[in-house]
Amino acid sequence: MKFIHTADVHLGVRPDAGKAYTKNRPEEIWRSFERLISLCEREKTDLLVIAGDLFHRQPLLREMKEVNALFARLTHTKVVLVAGNHDFVKQDSYYRSFRWARNVFPLLGKEMQKIEFPELRTAVSGFSYWDREYREGIRDSWKCRRTQDTEILILHGGDEKHLPFRKRETELLGYDYVALGHIHKPDQKEQKSSYCGALEPTDPNDTGDHGFILGAAANGLVKTRFVPFASRKYIHLDIQADEKMTGSLLRDTIREKIEEQGIENMYRVEITGFRDPDIEFAAASMDPYGNVIDVLDFTNPSYDFGKLSAVNKGNLLGRFIQSFEKEGEDGLLEEMALYEGVKALLETKRGS
Amino acid sequence: MKIKRLEISGFGKFHDRNIEVGDGINVFAGENEAGKTTIYAFLKSMLFDIERGRGRAAAGDMFHRYEPWDKPWQYGGMIQFESGGRTFQIERDFTKNGKKTRFFCLDDGEELSVDDGDLQAVLSDLDRATFENTVAIGQLAAAPGETLQTAVQNYAANYYHSGSSDMDLEASLSYLRERARELSRNVREAEEKRLKKRELGEQEGAYVERELTRLRKEYEVMRERVQDFDRQEETVEKKGRRFLVPALIMILFLSAAGIFLFVPRPLDYLLITAVLIAEILFFWNKVKMEKVVQPEHQDPAMTREKLEWRRERFKEEIREKQTALANIREQIDETYEIGEEEKLLKMRKAALELAAKRLLEVSKDVYQDIGERLNSRASRILKEITEGCYDRIYLEEKANISVYSGNRKIPAERLSRGTLEQIYFAVRMAASEMLCEEEFPIILDDTFSYYDEKRMRAALRWLAENKKQVLLFSCHKREREALEEMHITYRDGWS
């Protein structure tokens, strides 16, 4: 029995993807899901498991029809899906009334339910969100009551407001495989209970590879493997500045790194370290390919506080530095204020 | 610290010129162009190295100004000075690829290093700026847009609040304000990006809402039409089928019975048949007419099923749009979340505000610890050099300076230039005493030009009594004459 585990496709999401890619990104995510369906057909996948948040918000009828038309194309694959916290089964949700294609088996109940596929010797259990949140934890009654060779459980959540659980707990329920959804970061190492992650990254914080989990079950043994599939990645570029770094040098460094890691990807640039006190980096000019989401400049001027403090003992500068040496003055805000104040005093010195 | 000897191998107009500097007052008098400023520049360059501008600033820097024009390969010299009881010598060569700077102690010949901070240690961290702003006193100079009176005020206020000659509290604060303004612009840009998204969402929402209103109206129309349809059907039934059919049968029966009773056979059979046929035809027509006439004002092709189907379509579209609208509202709500970049910018702005607040707080401490003492010392000096005319300097909030003459308070704008110069002198002298651990030589560059004879003499007397070493540059002879008349020994610097 071959299966694919996906989740958090977030159809309909419009994520920030930089000047160059933001406009077409929603369409791209649809195309990606389409590619996944084609892959199921080509590979004769037996089962497609969707562990929630197929849609980013309440699905529209036309979106559902669109998705259903894709499912209907599958001649071999059966589809099991649940609704997650984003596309939860609202009072008047189309989930309640929609007539799915014959190969689609939605588990839309509020309570755990099980669907059996004797021809695949497989059973899939799961339930859907009926609300934005699900604050209760895992229940004893969810324990696996084996009726088929391969027992799969779908769970969506894993944080405080969405079915709080520890992965170990889900493993102890006795299923052969737990298909997890909600957390966008995939488990790339094989585990009995795995997050497949979002099919495509949908937020600048969804860094690294994204894709789905490919699984095979034989003789009650499930083997899985993460398959990268997303068309773009979010990458956080960490750039260490030093006193020799200038604006144009920084721009070149960013350009080089982006070229190295692919201009198709989307970047958040974080600059840390120290810079020449005379230099300010202009964040706006650091986006050569239109794929930089934001530039976060955490650099500080390279001041030698020990020396400055000693030379200026007792005067305004010395005392200003000293005032930040007290307890509770070591946060990021205070550090920034210290640098800004020292800079102001030194920049406005007479005769300089 | 005391300066002992200067040896100029080449600097500006001077070549191989040695100058001994003694204790007490050393007078370098001479016409313009005599080289007084050059000596001062040489002294600074020996102690703190020569200033070299970079790029465009290079044209007017000290290095280019004092590069000897006739023998440029000989550019530099030597200074000997005494500090902490020991005598030191610095040799500097300013030519390109010139010799390395040497710095050593003449008492034991120990070679010291300028780069490693030995010189700074010996000068007790006096730097060029402090030297220029405290030790050396030129004429009161006003910055562009500044009157002399505000120049004195700013100088004193800064000194009192920063405890340093070169720090400028007001300028620092306005620097921070300017940076905050700049950041506000960036924050606004980031916010606008976010607002733009919200605006687009709201536009989209408004569009969907209009669509919804339209659909609701259409739905209502359809619903009414279906109702109308049903109502009409009912009246047709009421008028037609319910009363028409029994009446028809009754009439048929009665007419048949009547003919049977009153018309003899065999004509009656024929008549009945004829009458019945006529009657049936008449009523048939009537029923048919009624049925056709009633729904005539509507589209005859519009069946009830079609109307219902349309109504349901509108209902479905309304639901779809309602879902879409709810999604758009959710999307709008998300634009209230602040992005990383915006968060960082806002934090930076908060940091600038904290820095400014802290600077003000600290400056108040400085004023209490240093400013007040400085002011009372400066007041005493002023009293001496004005021979008791002004006995107290008073610095108000917002850096308004005034002096007291007895109980009379005189604001700075009513003081003469000479008096302003004297306040300036007093503050600087007080500062040089308080802020430098070791007493440095006082360097006066045409300082007394605006002093009247009496006050100049008082100032010279104060210097002779209070200062170990004074270098006095002047383009007049009046200082020398006064010193001689007051029997104060001095040294002619040029000799």
Give the confidence band of B371 by pLDDT, cuts at 50, 70, 90: confident
CA–CA dist A83, A223 (Å, integer): 25
CB contact under 8 Å between A334 and B354, yes or no, is yes
| pLDDT higher than threshold 90 for residue A102 | yes
CB contact under 8 Å between B166 and A332, yes or no, is no
Mode of pairing for the β-strands spanning A266-275 and A234-241: parallel
- 3-state secondary structure string, chain B? CEEEEEEEEEECCEEEEEEECCCEEEEEECCCCCCHHHHHHHHHHHHHCCCCCCHHHHHHCHHHHCCCCCCCCCCEEEEEEEECCEEEEEEEECCCCCCCCEEEECCCCCEECCCCCHHHHHCCCCCHHHHHHHHEECCCCCCCCCCHHHHHHHHHHHHHHHCCCCCCHHHHHHHHHHHHHHHHHHHHHHHHHHHHHHHHHHHHHHHHHHHHHHHHHHHHHHHHHHHHHHHHHHHHHHHHHHHHHHHHHHHHHHHHHHHHHHCCCCHHHHHHHHHHHHHHHHHHHHHHHHHHHHHHHCCCCCCHHHHHHHHHHHHHHHHHHHHHHHHHHHHHHHCCCCCHHHHHHHHHHHHHHHHHHHHHHHHHHHHHHHHHHHHHHHHHHHHHHCCCCCCEEEECHHHCEEEEECCEEEEHHHCCHHHHHHHHHHHHHHHHHHHCCCCCCEEEECCCCCCCHHHHHHHHHHHHHHCCEEEEEECCCHHHHHHHHCCCCEEECCC
Average pLDDT, chain B: 85
Q: How far out from the chain centre does Cα B19 lie?
A: 50
For chain B, percent of residues with pLDDT exceeding 70: 91
pLDDT at B335: 86
Give me the sheet containing B111-112, strands edge to edge: B14-20, B2-11, B76-83, B86-93, B102-105, B111-112
Residues in a beta bridge with B474: B29
How distant is the Cα of B86 from the closest Cα of chain A, in angstroms?
Answer: 22
CB contact under 8 Å between A58 and B327, yes or no, is yes
CB contact under 8 Å between A349 and B326, yes or no, is no
CB contact under 8 Å between B323 and A58, yes or no, is yes
CA–CA dist A246, A276 (Å, integer): 8
Q: Which chain A positions have a beta carbon within 8 Å of B320's beta carbon? A: 60-62
Nearest CA in chain A to B176: A344
In angstroms and rounded to an integer, the radius of gyration of the C-alpha atoms of chain A is: 26
| pLDDT higher than threshold 70 for residue A134 | yes
pLDDT at B394: 87
CB contact under 8 Å between B166 and A349, yes or no, is yes
How distant is the Cα of A89 from the closest Cα of chain B, in angstroms?
Answer: 12
CB contact under 8 Å between A351 and B163, yes or no, is no
Q: Which CATH number fits domain B1-126+436-495: 3.40.50.300, 3.90.1150.10, 3.30.420.40, 3.40.50.2300?
A: 3.40.50.300
Average pLDDT, chain A: 93
pLDDT at B296: 46
Give the confidence band of B117 by pLDDT, cuts at 50, 70, 90: confident
CB pairs under 8 A between A and B: 136
CB contact under 8 Å between A320 and B176, yes or no, is no
Give the confidence band of A309 by pLDDT, cuts at 50, 70, 90: confident
| pLDDT higher than threshold 70 for residue A257 | yes
Q: What is the pLDDT of residues A185-231, one digit of tens each?
A: 999 999 999 999 999 999 999 999 999 999 999 887 899 999 999 99
Q: What is the pLDDT of residues B123-147, one digit of tens each?
A: 877 777 777 777 777 777 766 667 7
pLDDT at A69: 97
- Residues B381, B383, B385, CA angle at the centre, nearest 5°? 70
Give the confidence band of A349 by pLDDT, cuts at 50, 70, 90: confident
| pLDDT higher than threshold 90 for residue A173 | yes
Give the confidence band of B469 by pLDDT, cuts at 50, 70, 90: very high
Q: Which chain A positions have a beta carbon within 8 Å of B326's beta carbon? A: 57-58
Q: What is the pLDDT of residues A42-89, one digit of tens each?
A: 999 999 999 999 999 999 999 999 999 999 999 999 999 999 999 999
pLDDT at B391: 87
Q: What is the pLDDT of residues B70-83, one digit of tens each?
A: 888 899 999 999 98
pLDDT at B236: 66
| pLDDT higher than threshold 60 for residue B403 | yes
Q: How far out from the chain centre does Cα A28 lie?
A: 16
Q: What is the pLDDT of residues B18-40, one digit of tens each?
A: 999 999 999 988 877 778 888 88
Domains of chain B by residue range? 1-126+436-495, 178-341
CA–CA dist A198, A9 (Å, integer): 6
CA–CA dist A352, B129 (Å, integer): 7
Contact at 8 Å (CB) between B291 and B240?
A: yes
| pLDDT higher than threshold 60 for residue A3 | yes
Residue B121, C-beta contacts closer than 8 angstroms, at least 6 positions apart: none
How distant is the Cα of B317 from the closest Cα of chain A, in angstroms?
Answer: 9
- DSSP type of residue A284: G
Interface residues of A toward B, Cβ cutoff 8 Å, are 12, 14, 57-62, 92, 94, 204, 268, 283, 294-298, 310-312, 314-317, 319-320, 323-324, 332-334, 336-338, 340-341, 344-345, 347-352
Mutate which of A278, A299, A320, A329 to test chain B, going by most B C-beta atoms within 10 A?
A320
Q: Which of A131-140, A159-168, B293-302, B402-411 has the lowest mean pLDDT?
A: B293-302
pLDDT at A7: 97
Nearest CA in chain A to B352: A337
Give the confidence band of A351 by pLDDT, cuts at 50, 70, 90: low
pLDDT at B62: 83
Q: Give pairs for B140-144: CB < 8 Å, separation 24+.
A: B140/B417, B140/B420, B140/B421, B140/B424
pLDDT at B289: 64
CB contact under 8 Å between B354 and A337, yes or no, is yes
Q: What is the mean pLDDT of residues B325-348?
A: 89
Mutate which of B178, B313, B358, B365 to test chain A, going by most A C-beta atoms within 10 A?
B358
Alpha helices in chain A (DSSP H): 18-21, 25-42, 61-72, 167-171, 247-261, 305-311, 316-323, 332-347
Q: Which chain A positions have a beta carbon within 8 Å of B362's beta carbon? A: 316, 319-320, 323
Q: Which chain A positions have a beta carbon within 8 Å of B175's beta carbon? A: 344, 347-348
What is the ipTM for the molecules in this complex?
Answer: 0.81
pLDDT at B273: 85
| pLDDT higher than threshold 80 for residue A30 | yes
Residues in a beta bridge with B3: B81
Domains of chain A by residue range? 2-228, 234-347
Q: What is the pLDDT of residues B222-265, one digit of tens each?
A: 888 888 888 877 776 665 555 667 777 888 888 888 887 887 77
The CATH number of A2-228 is 3.60.21.10
pLDDT at A5: 98
